[in-house]
Amino acid sequence: MASTIFGSFEFNFRKTEFFINRAYTLTAGQLKIQSQKEIGAMSARHQAEIVKAQQPVTKNLANKFEAGDAVADLKNALDRIVDIRNSLFEARAAAKLGERAGFDNALFDINRKAQDASQDSHNLIGWLAVDGNGVRSRTVELGPASFNIASRSLGATYAVELDDGERIRPEFRKNEMELNGQKFLVNELNYVSESDGAITFTVGEGEEQQTFTGTVKKGGLGIASSWVYGNFDSQEFQDLAVGDVNGALQRLNAAERELNASLIQAEYRYNKSKTLAEAAQTKVDNTVRAQLTEQQALNKAIEAKTKIALVVLSLGAQQKLTQIDAIFRPAPKPTNTILDRFGLFD
């Protein structure tokens, strides 16, 4: 009888213990899944918040870099304008004295400074075309705040259109011109005469002398090499060269004013974009800090909730096992009784 009761107790105890362990495991698993869902939902929301907060940063940084490039290009152009102006002063002085070499060398320096080894969009005063002296516009892309920069050709460039239709452009970097397959320094060209805008000029000497006739198309600043001004052989030609240099100075000054106005606008846009980018970045940093605080709070809440749930489950399980123990565990055998003395329990 006692063994049957004890066996029933053992079976129910182990059965109940099994279900308690199973409930404990399932509860812990469910709590983990629920926690992962909460963390996942919070992470997704945090990611969306960061993406949204980062957008103004990206936009304003792009505007800052675009405006910064414009500021750098404008400052570079304005610095070179100062050098070009000095070279124009040298050219004017040489023209007044009738010094061909000094005049042509000054023009060579002007072209070198204007071009500055660059023909891309960052060069705001380089050569536009063989004889181009127009304006090309470069847009600084800043969304609604976009603006244009006028880019002018400020070189001492020109081309010669010969009677046969051939168009020849001097190699301004070397101060050379190619004629009939031969290259000559521009100061080797000699003015002969002019009729209806067409200049007759020669190159070479003696039997090797060649004669050409063509129309000079001035570009950029509107000045050309000394041979175009009659080799400076007369005061009239010298005065003509001085007049073109004065006109070039006026064009240069006008371009400088336009570029300075663009510089003011570019610097304003740069500073504004920088300020907006910094403010937007501060907002991103604050968002990240707030999210970190929220994440830490959620982790602590999940940990506390899990502990409480498992403690409650453990208490309930302990109570159930205690009840089973009370019901099925056999009563202790009486000891030190009269019956015990007579051996009636044996």
Q: Could you tell me if residue 193 is inside a domain?
A: no
Q: Does residue 219 register a pLDDT over 70?
A: yes
Tell me how crowded residue 41 is: count the other CB atoms within 10 A of its CB. Answer: 11
Query: Is position 183 within any domain?
Result: no
Residue 128 lies in a domain: yes
Q: Output the six-digit token pair for 299.
A: 């982790």
Here the CATH number for the domain that contains residue 76 is: 1.20.1330.10
pLDDT at 313 over 70: no
Question: What is residue 170's predicted lDDT score, i.e. its pLDDT?
Answer: 86
User: Is the model's pLDDT at 133 over the cut of 80?
Assistant: no
Lowest mean pLDDT across 128-137, 140-149, 291-300, 306-315: 128-137
Q: What is the mean pLDDT of residues 58-84?
A: 91
What's the mean per-residue pLDDT of the chain? 81
Residue 334: predicted pLDDT? 57
- 227-236 long-range CB contacts below 8 Å, 24 or more apart? 227/100, 227/186, 227/187, 227/189, 227/190, 227/191, 227/201, 228/158, 228/191, 228/199, 229/95, 229/191, 230/191, 231/100, 231/190, 231/191, 232/95, 232/98, 232/99, 232/100, 232/103, 233/191
Lowest pLDDT segment from 131-135, 148-152, 192-196, 262-266 = 131-135
Domain containing 297 equals: 1-157+219-346
- For the chain, what is the domain count? 1
Indicate whether 181 belongs to any domain.
Answer: no
- Whether residue 198 is contained in a domain is answered as no
Residue 170 lies in a domain: no
Is residue 276 one of the residues assigned to a domain? yes
DSSP single-letter state for residue 181? T
Question: Tens digits of per-residue pLDDT, 1-47?
Answer: 445 544 555 555 565 556 566 655 656 667 677 777 877 887 888 88
